Amino acid sequence: MFRTPEAAAFSAAWRVLCESTLTPHYRTVFQQLSPDLIPRLIVAELIEPDKYTIRFMGTARAQTWGAELTGKDILSLMAPHVAAAARKNMTTMLGHPCGMYYTVSFVTPSGREALTEHVTFPASNDPGLPQRLINFAEEISTLAYNEPRGQIQDISERHWIDVGVGVPVKPPIK
């Protein structure tokens, strides 16, 4: 399923983290995940039903995107049709729990269009604090150079990933 060895390594590392719990605490992830993978992470926190705030953006992600996005609503960075599907899929991942694999085509604020593969899993937070998702991404290729946008244009190849309790009956929203 994975196109890059980094995404395969992240998924394998996540499975180790899930040996004792379906949704490891986000601090456990940062303490036990290989330091080579952490720069490729984004931690998004569900603040409201329609807002997922980026709480952590790894340096490799900031370099690929061309901007630091910590504090921004991740859904606001997506084309409207992409954001609608992403919102539903993120809600499913938090409620089931399960992970998701997908590829993303986006145009950076400088106009570079890139293709990346993503693996997202729910992570636990402290009691009473918002739910979190941890997203890993690795760039597959540069597709073109376009007008600057800073927006996710398309998400494809969506598949649920089982973390120990099966996957939802319905496939991810496209």
Cα–Cα distance for residue pair 61/89, rounded to 1 Å: 21
How far CA 44 is from CA of 5, 57, 140, 147, 164, in Å, comes to: 24, 9, 22, 27, 22
Q: Which domains does the chain have, with CATH numbers?
A: 5-161 (3.30.450.20)
From 51, 67, 59, select the one nearest 149 (Cα to Cα). Answer: 67
Cα–Cα distance for residue pair 124/173, rounded to 1 Å: 24
pLDDT tens digits, one per residue of 125-151: 999 999 999 999 999 998 888 888 888
Least confident of 21-25, 30-34, 126-130, 140-144: 140-144
Whether 161 and 119 have beta carbons less than 8 Å apart is answered as: yes
Q: Which two tokens stand for residue 112?
A: 């570079």
Q: What is the mean pLDDT of residues 94-120?
A: 93
Cα–chain center distance at 31: 19
